[in-house]
Amino acid sequence: MKVNAVLFVMATLLVGLAGSVRAQAPGQDAASPYPVVQGKTYRFQKIADGVYYAVGGGGSNDTVIVNDNDVLVVDDGTTPAGARALLEDVKAITDKPVRYVVNTHFHYDHTDGNSVFAPNVDIIAQEFVRTAILNFNILNREPYLTSQGTRVPRLIETLTKQAAATDDPAKKAEVQKQLQAAQTTLQQLHEIKPTPPNVTFDSKLILHKGGREIQLLFLGRGHTAGDTVVYLPKERLVCTGDLMETGIAYMGDAFIDEWITTLDALKRLDFGLILPGHGTPFGDKEHITAFQSYLKDVMTQVATLRRQGVSADEAAQRVDLTSHQKDFPQIKGPGADLRGVRHLYEWMASQGGQSPTK
């Protein structure tokens, strides 16, 4: 069952990263309807005047907003090295300085680059992000633990054994290349210094940058207790972090019942395009409705299995969400992320055994 859960997570990640590996010539991108600037690591899709969607860092997709005199970056990579690569590549689109970073939520793939930003860069987030980074021991808990902390050392162990076991020179060279990459990743992880935002807000913060208005909005709990969406009303764009991805988001810190309501608030914003924390930009509000329907289904099925006395680990195998495959093609069969299902069980227990479905 663990394998299923891991495969599910991997599939989610792969879908999230899909499209980030193709080499593209500047200004051309068969996979993107937008003009593209290719940096060394990141590929920037120009979504609107001064608004770029950055893909290719191996973690979240980030948004770079170039203002009259400065730059705001939404989310900043999985490691300090990733953030440095982003800063370096931003020079391919502007010579203005990065002065603001917004963390859409506290998870590692959106905040672990924070430490590289100079003191004159404001790191802004909903106040829960600061609480979480200061108090949650985030490098020793999920989602970092499985996705990075234990995965990379295990990968190194496996590749080391594979390299020793093969006599085929070509295969050995390939495995050693992978091993070297994994060792580099491990060094980069060791450099992480959890760094909280220095500017926080409760429900709304607006930056007025020349002709551009940048609204940071907390619409309610959902993917985490402190998700920010970055809304550009004039451009009719909204960066949703992992509150709304193209695919299915991690649920281990979620408030699933509230998430459904928070997504209603998202739908009420006047926007033409979502720039999600993972996946590809999309504008169809029906996709949000489809995700709400997925969340409701997860809740109902997990509640039923829990009432039947099924363990969380078994429920994670038995939950069947394949009816949502049309909207979320990364669903390949029955099962759901174990961390999300365990989290739901704990939450349901904390509700006094009542069914969370309304």
Positions touching Zn ion (CB under 5 A) are: 60, 109, 242, 277
CB-side neighbour CA atoms (13 Å) of 67: 18
Q: Which is nearer to Zn ion, 12 or 45 (CB)?
A: 12
Q: Which is nearer to Zn ion, 87 or 244 (CB)?
A: 244
Q: Which is nearer to Zn ion, 32 or 103 (CB)?
A: 103
d(CA 329, CA 64): 28
Q: Which is nearer to Zn ion, 142 or 242 (CB)?
A: 242
Q: How far is the CB of 60 from Zn ion (least distance, A)?
A: 4
Q: How far is the CB of 279 from Zn ion (least distance, A)?
A: 10
Q: How far is the CB of 266 from Zn ion (least distance, A)?
A: 17
Q: Which is nearer to Zn ion, 218 or 301 (CB)?
A: 218
35, 46 contact by CB (below 8 A)? yes
Q: How far is CA 103 from CA 127, 239, 327, in A?
A: 11, 11, 27
**Sign of the Cα pseudo-torsion (126, 127, 130, 134, in order):** negative
Take residue 231 and report the two structure tokens written for it.
């809304």
Helix (H) or strand (E) holding 37: strand 36-38
51, 62 contact by CB (below 8 A)? no
Q: How far is the CB of 198 from Zn ion (least distance, A)?
A: 22
Q: Which is nearer to Zn ion, 37 or 132 (CB)?
A: 132
Q: How far is the CB of 61 from Zn ion (least distance, A)?
A: 9
Q: How far is the CB of 323 from Zn ion (least distance, A)?
A: 25
Helices (H), 2-111: 2-17, 80-90, 108-111
d(CA 237, CA 220): 19
